[in-house]
A and B are shown apart, each in its own frame.
Chain A
Amino acid sequence: MTFGKIFPAWFFWRCENTLPGSWFKHAQWFFAIDETFHIMALGMLIGTLVIVDLRLLGFGMRRQSVSQLAGFLGPWTLLGVASMIVTGIPLFMSEAVKLSGSSPFFFKMVFLVCAVTLHFTLHRKAIASSTRQGSGLGKLAACLSLMCWLGVALAGRAIAFL
């Protein structure tokens, strides 16, 4: 499945060949610099998610409570997601036509929507109702969250290779 089968071809063509997309596409080094920021944001984002999700699973920072950790790191997670999207959109626009035929890109977006939805629903609920011993709900939310974000990262990396 690809976005090219859902949206008309002119949409991708216009993304890539009108401003600001055409600038992203032709500016020397823009792609490399933007991708570097995208990866740095990834490091920060995955770090915050991993620390909170490991804690929900009963590993890592066990001396702190789940809600404490989520309180510390939650704002940074949002900042991480926001930076990924802000740096990701120009990456998309600079090669929109190629991505319209890329199934890894399609699945990356599907995983991303799942991950963000999960973050604001089940994940949030699990953190709010967390206890010292941990709960089944917390473990389920942590596993699903880790799997969705892993899916985003794997599919994202696969865009370059498939």
Chain B
Amino acid sequence: MSHLLSFVQWLNDTPLSVYLRESDWPFPIIETIHILGLGFSVGTVMWVDLRLLGLAMREAPVTDVIEQLEPWAIGGFAVMFVSGSLLILSEPLKCYNTLAFRIKVVLLILAALNVLYFHKRVMHNVDDWDRNMPWRAKMVGILSLILWLGVVIAGRWTAYF
């Protein structure tokens, strides 16, 4: 048995995990919070992405869109991360064995790398972007849209597989 699987097995047997799994209310409540967090995080990130691509809010400076929406996206993501961790904790073994969930984790890691790349390598000349949007920024925007869309789809399908 792999180390990861024995860890998941152990997690599955912890009292908190059993409690979350066996009582009626925690799962629906946490899942509702998770979905509302989705509205805030993906719902704000996608406008930053669409702005990078020049498809929405074109009259607003790029820096305005990024700076003013990013705190809400991060806040929404924090809510999703905490509530999502609890959802995983409620059924660790099921998640481990679900293909959709594994895909979701990979997509999340790629999305995080994309954000990191954006901040470290792409954003340094952001003040010039209103005149000339670099192709790297557009690429980050497209990737972000695709990856988050994938995260939402894989997340929803975790319930079915």
Binding site for B on A (CB under 8 A): 32, 35-36, 39-40, 42-48, 50-51, 54, 60-64, 68, 72-73, 76, 150, 153-154, 157-158, 160-161
In chain B, residues 52-76, which have Cβ atoms closer than 8 Å to a Cβ of chain A? 56-57, 59-61, 64-65, 68-69, 72
Instruction: Specify the main secondary structure of chain B where it touches its partner.
Output: helix
Q: Contact between A47 and B60 (Cβ–Cβ < 8 Å)?
A: no
CB-defined A-B contacts under 8 Å, sample of 24: A32-B156, A36-B152, A40-B152, A42-B39, A43-B38, A43-B42, A45-B39, A45-B43, A46-B43, A47-B39, A47-B43, A48-B43, A48-B47, A60-B68, A60-B69, A61-B68, A72-B60, A73-B57, A153-B35, A154-B32, A157-B28, A157-B31, A157-B32, A158-B28
Q: 8 closest A-B pairs (Cβ-Cβ)?
A: A47-B43, A46-B39, A161-B28, A61-B68, A43-B42, A72-B57, A157-B32, A63-B64
Q: Contact between B68 and A68 (Cβ–Cβ < 8 Å)?
A: no
Q: Contact between B44 and A51 (Cβ–Cβ < 8 Å)?
A: yes
B140 at the interface (CB under 8 A from A): no
Q: Contact between B44 and A68 (Cβ–Cβ < 8 Å)?
A: no
Number of cross-chain contacts by CB at 8 Å? 92
The size class of the interface chain B forms with chain A is 20 to 34
Known contacts A44-B46, A51-B47, A157-B31; is-contact A64 B156 (Cβ 8 Å):
no
